[in-house]
Amino acid sequence: MLSVQSVTGGYPGHDVLDDISFDVERGELLGIVGPNGSGKTTIFKMVSGILKAKSGSILLKEKPIASYSAKQLARVLAVLPQHAEQAFPYTVKETVSLGRYAHQSGWFQSWSEHDEAVVQRTMAQTGIASFEDHYVNELSGGERQRVFLAQALAQEPEILLLDEPTNHLDLSYQKELLDLLKRWTREQGLTVISIFHDLNLAGLYCDRLLLLENGQINLHNKPNDVLNEERIQSVYRTKIEKHPHPTVPKPQMLLLPEKQAEDLSDLRITEKWLAHQNDMITLNAPFPLRTMSSGVVGSGTGWYRTFVNRHVDKTYNCTDHKGEMTSFLEAHGIDPTETVGMMTAVRLEDVAYRLIEDDDVSVFVVVTAGVGNAVDASKSREHVYEPLPGTINTWVFVNGTLTDEAFIQSIMTATEAKVKVMHDQQVKDAVTGTTATGTSTDSILIAATQRGEHQAYAGTITTLGKLISEGVYTCTTEALENYRLRLSK
Amino acid sequence: MQKRFTRMFLLNKRFIAYPIATGLLIAAMLLGISIGTVSVPVLTILKLIGTEVLHLPSLGKTDPMFTTIVMDIRLPRVILAGLVGASLAIAGAAFQGLLRNPLADPYVLGVSSGASVGAVLVLFFNLSIPFVGMFTLPVMSIAASILTIFLVLFFARQIERSMRVETIILTGIVFSSFLGSLLSLMIALTGEELRQIIGWLLGSVSMRGWEYIGIILPFFIIGAGILLFSTKELNAMSFGEERAQHIGVNVAKRKLWILIGGSILTGAAVAVSGTIGFVGLVIPHLTRLLWGPDHRHLLPLSILLGAAFLIVADLISRTIISPTELPIGVITSLIGAPVFAIILIRRRKESRG
């Protein structure tokens, strides 16, 4: 569709672009990203025929762009400007109708029924039909943007160039506009090239990204390759972190605000923050902790500051246990959005907790254990699903900074320690008669302060791994002993 | 309901715009012919136009004195005033659209200064071009205005190849000042010619006769024709030149044509009547306020209103302190400047909300 071949040039006496080459396929959505002054707009001006390239060539549908007349070009390629001048008060419809200019010919340039139909259709598509008689200069920034989008679409182009299309739009219109563009590329084969400032939007919607740096192409590839943490940091010269989008397989680049000085840095999670009530154990952290857990609420990963282990009766049976747990928390004045909540039928007085320290990292472990429904994981096929009381809930609070790997390894290490307790305590699977590995409803929580020493790994013989194994092993053993002791009374 | 009403209203507004403007022009012409030291009844004027201009069978006897007054003095004067007013107004409308500045007019580009210099040169050196004779002044004036616009464009292009509007305006202002000081120099060096030059500079359409109409008419037709065929492009260009290019307008070519068309009109108007200010500024502005900025209607309506305005201004200039005649430029400025100020203040208030 469009082929840019070793283009060099820019403004008189000042070359902005240096040997740029790329191709855009029909129906592709290409995003152009790069820091200010990297040449994004200059590429646009060259492709849209405003600036001439000093050397190199630009082919549009296999024909050099210079061979197109202004009208011919406007029938193939339309541009949505970042801002258009508003010298005189035209109405919305007059403005959109101008987009038909290139399709009208002859001295009298008459307005055909097709022209009218296209204008009406584009106004409907962009949601501006209801104010077609309003003056454009009286509209809000977002509405005006859509008027000019309608004007560009009225050209019935095959390629649409957009210069930061989401600039003046609020969130819902940003999404709406990009969804619409994406759909048109799929359904009507429209080719879209857009400049983006927002790397995340670009990554979410574009098929490919063109990353510019100082007038040269740094990389032209799939968003996941272009949005690489080190690459973006070096091109944009700022601190950025790459994370996966929680629901779609696209990367998100997150800005890291400069850490403000705070006096909380030496605060550690210890017994001090733990509270033991009749029907629940809570830990109220002084600041949110990065958490990975399998609780009833607040499960998965996130930042939470309240941790609740709630006692429920053996007969607790509720179809909407998440909703019930949320209302329980609310009833106790706890904000469910900041809370990881677990349930157990085990008596909470059996709880065991311990702080285990090394030189620069420490771990605070809290365990409640009951083994009424102990299961041997290797023979779990022989079990039928029946929710029985008896649960081992393990909380591990790490006073340190953990990577994602360290979080996962912490879970492994904690689990291995738990299994070893089952083994050493001779806990039997009631169905198979073999040694159990845990219970059928165990939960785990790893929460890190993300302050202090970095812990890249948490395998069993790393500094952190050793603390976790020791903490989980001793606490689980103690909790289990408490549990057995109470039962035998 | 609301929407439908607005649309009907807009349609009506545009539908009645032409009859209103035409009616105003006809009324202004009749008034201009009728009023003077000798009053000519409107009925007589209509009869005379019927027999003398349209060559209808005699509609009855008229006083030969009236015939002379109307046919030799007032009718050519009114037509000339109308043509000058129309030329200045449409040129102003086109320049405002092209430069995207409702306060711009032909004078900003230095075109009228160029035309004045051409004319004053003729008066100063008592020039007479062979074969052109008494039309030396108008021909020199038009030539100078076109020469000026090309010089302005040439220098603008030297400064910046893409010739942005801002560059053209700045270059025009520089040329205006330079040519203005040339004029002052020539006036300072003049002895007896001073009064003639000053009188000409202030502008007048008196005692010009049919020959001058013959001079301005072809240029008016060419200039207005060029501009009237560029109205869509003017609409596009009022959203910015890049935008117009993206919509499909060959901006460089059109811009040149519009500048040439406007210069021809301005040059011809200055040549036959001297410098008459504010018509090119106020009339398009007023038309736009009344009937919207769409150049397809703005330009023809500006022609009608501009013609009517200058005819009335001329009428006032020759009757207000009769028998002495005021220069017409004084009247247009006296009316134009306050109107313009009011428009400006209202706009400012509106934009403040």
Give the one of A77, A98, A130 whose C-beta lies nearest to B236's C-beta.
Answer: A98
Nearest CA in chain B to A71: B248
Which of B200, B260, B198, B249 lies closest to B224, judged by CA? B260
Residues of B in contact with A74 (CB under 8 A): 246-248
CB contact under 8 A, A88 and B246: no
- Distance, CA of A445 to chain centre: 22
Q: Do A50 and A151 fall into the same domain?
A: yes
Residue A48 lies in a domain: yes
Chain A nearest CA to B193, separation (Å): 44
pLDDT digits (tens, 9 = 90+) for A152-196: 999 999 999 999 888 777 888 888 889 988 998 998 899 999 999
Please tell me whether residues A245 and A299 are part of one structural domain. Answer: no
Decide if A44 is inside a domain.
yes
Identify residue B332 by its one-letter amino acid code. Answer: T
Q: Residues of A238-274 as b/e, b for ≥16 C-beta within 10 angstroms?
A: eebebeeeeeeebbbbeeeeeeeeeeeeebbbeeebb
Which of B97, B247, B288 comes nearest A101 by C-beta?
A: B247
- Say yes or no: A245 and A280 in one domain: no
Q: Do A74 and B248 touch (CB under 8 A)?
A: yes
Selected residues 185-244 of chain A with any CB under 8 Å from a CB in chain B: none
Contact between chains at B239 and A89 (C-beta distance less than 8 A):
no
Query: Per residue of chain A (489 residues), what is the pLDDT tens digit?
Result: 899 998 898 887 788 888 999 999 999 999 999 988 888 989 998 998 888 888 889 999 999 998 999 999 999 999 998 877 777 888 999 999 999 998 887 555 578 888 999 999 999 988 888 988 898 888 888 888 889 999 999 999 999 999 988 877 788 888 888 998 899 899 889 999 999 988 888 999 999 999 999 888 888 888 888 888 888 888 888 888 888 887 888 888 888 777 655 555 567 888 888 998 888 999 999 889 999 999 888 889 999 999 999 988 877 777 788 888 899 999 998 998 999 999 888 888 889 999 998 888 899 999 999 887 888 888 877 777 665 666 899 999 999 999 999 999 999 999 999 999 999 999 888 888 888 898 888 899 999 998 888 888 888 889 999 999 999 999 999 999 998 888 887
Tokens 């605060």, located at residue: A267
- Write the single-letter amino acid at A306: T
CB contact under 8 A, A84 and B239: yes
Q: Considering only CB atoms, which chain B residues are within 8 Å of A147?
A: none
- For residue A31, tell me if it sits in a domain: yes
Question: Looking at beta carbons, which residues of chain B come within 8 Å of A87?
Answer: 97, 100-102, 238-239
Instruction: Give the pLDDT of residue A158.
Output: 94
Q: Which residues of B touch A49 (CB under 8 A)?
A: 245
Looking at the fold, whether A336 and A441 belong to one and the same domain comes out as yes
Do A365 and A249 share a structural domain?
A: no
| DSSP symbol at B36 | S
Contact A50 B245 (CB under 8 A): yes
353 residues of chain B, pLDDT tens digit each? 344 444 445 555 667 889 999 999 999 999 999 988 888 888 888 888 888 777 777 666 777 888 888 888 899 999 999 999 999 999 999 988 888 877 677 777 788 889 888 888 887 787 777 776 666 777 788 788 888 888 888 888 888 776 677 787 788 889 989 998 988 888 888 766 676 777 777 777 776 778 888 888 988 999 999 999 999 999 999 888 889 999 999 998 998 899 889 888 988 888 888 888 888 888 998 898 888 889 999 999 999 999 999 999 999 988 888 778 888 888 888 887 787 677 667 766 655 54
How many domains does chain A divide into?
A: 2
Residue A96 belongs to domain with CATH number: 3.40.50.300
Query: How many CB contacts within 8 angstroms connect chain A with chain B?
Result: 88
Q: Which domain holds residue A291?
A: 273-488
Task: Show the DSSP H helices in chain B as ranges.
Answer: 2-34, 42-48, 64-68, 75-99, 111-125, 136-159, 165-189, 194-202, 209-228, 231-237, 241-247, 251-273, 279-291, 295-319, 328-352
Q: Is position A354 within any domain? A: yes
* Buried b or exposed e, range A165-204, using 16+ CB within 10 angstroms: bbbbbeeebbeebbebbbebbeeeebbbbbbbeebbbbbb
User: Do both A237 and A300 map to the same domain?
Assistant: no
What's the CATH number where A355 sits? 3.60.70
Last residue of a domain, one of A202, A222, A255: A255
Residue B62 is predicted with a pLDDT of 74
Q: Indicate the residue of B232, B236, B243 with minimum beta-carbon distance to A81.
A: B243
Q: What is the pLDDT of residue A49?
A: 87
> Is A98 close to B251, i.e. CB distance below 8 A?
no
Check residue B1 and give its pLDDT.
Answer: 36
Which residues of B fall within a CB distance of 8 Å from A95?
239
User: Looking at this predicted complex, what is its ipTM?
Assistant: 0.80
CA distance B167 to B109: 11
Q: How many angstroms separate the CA of residue A88 from the nearest CA in chain B?
A: 6
Domain annotation covers residue A443? yes
* Cβ-defined contact of A88 to B288 (cutoff 8 Å): yes
- A28, A61, A27, A31: which is closest to A44 by C-alpha? A31
CA distance A104 to chain B (A): 10
For residues A251 and A303, membership in a common domain is answered with no
pLDDT at B353: 43
Residues A175 and A292 in one domain: no
C-alpha A416/C-alpha A288 separation (Å) is 27
Residues A189 and A297 in one domain: no
Phi, psi of A381 (to 5 degrees): -60, -25
Q: Give A101's contacts in chain B (Cβ within 8 Å).
A: 232, 236, 247-249
Nearest one of B270, B262, B241 to B138, comparing CA atoms: B270
What residues in chain B have their Cβ under 8 A from chain A's Cβ atoms?
3, 6-7, 10, 97, 100-102, 160-161, 229, 232, 235-236, 238-240, 242-243, 245-251, 288, 292-294
- CB-closest option in B102, B239, B250 to A70: B250
- For A73, name the nearest residue in chain B, comparing CA atoms only: B248
Nearest of A240, A248, A247, A202 to residue A221 by alpha carbon: A202
Give the residue numbers spanning the domain of B109. 2-352
Which residues of chain A are within 8 Å of residue B160 when distances are taken between CB atoms?
12
Alpha helices in B100-135 (DSSP H): 111-125
- Residue A167 in tokens: 């600039």
Q: How many CB atoms lie within 10 A of CB A57?
A: 13
CATH number of the domain within which B97 lies: 1.10.3470.10
Length of chain B: 353
Same domain membership, residue A106 and residue A33: yes
Q: Report the gap between the CA of B305 and the closest CA in chain A (Å).
A: 20
Residue A145 contacts residue A165 (beta carbons within 8 Å): yes
Q: Is beta strand A159-163 parallel, antiparallel or unpaired with respect to A63-64?
A: unpaired
Q: Per the domain annotation, does A260 fall within a domain?
A: no
Angle at B139 between CA B138 and CA B145, to 5 degrees: 90
Q: Which among A12, A87, A101 has CB closest to B100?
A: A87
Q: Which of B161, B240, B248 sits opposite A12 (nearest CB)?
A: B161
Number of domains making up chain B: 1
Predicted confidence at residue A81, as pLDDT, reads: 84
pLDDT value at residue A177? 86
Does A90 reach chain B within 8 Å, measured CB to CB? yes
Which of B10, B239, B287 has the highest number of chain A CBs within 10 A, making it the mutation to test binding with A? B239
With CA atoms as reference, report the closest residue to A376 among A335, A429, A427, A336.
Answer: A429
d(CA B279, CA B303): 11
By Cβ distance, the residue of B238, B248, B250 closest to A88 is B238
Cβ contact A101–B236 (<8 Å): yes
Give the contacts of B288 (CB within 8 A, at least 6 positions apart).
A88, B102, B298
Q: Which residues of A touch B161 (CB under 8 A)?
A: 12
B-chain residues within 8 Å CB-CB of A69? 250
The answer to whether the CB atoms of B247 and A99 lie below 8 A apart is yes
B242/A81 CB distance under 8 A: yes
Q: How far is residue A338 CA from its own chain's centroid? A: 19
Query: Which chain B positions have a beta carbon within 8 Å of A163's beta carbon?
Result: none
Of the candidates B10, B97, B236, the beta carbon closest to that of A133 is on B10
Do A292 and A336 belong together in one domain?
Answer: yes
Q: Which two tokens stand for residue A276?
A: 């033991």
- Find out whether the peptide bond into B323 is cis, omega within 30 degrees of 0: yes
CB contact under 8 A, B247 and A75: no
Are A83 and A232 part of one and the same domain?
Answer: yes
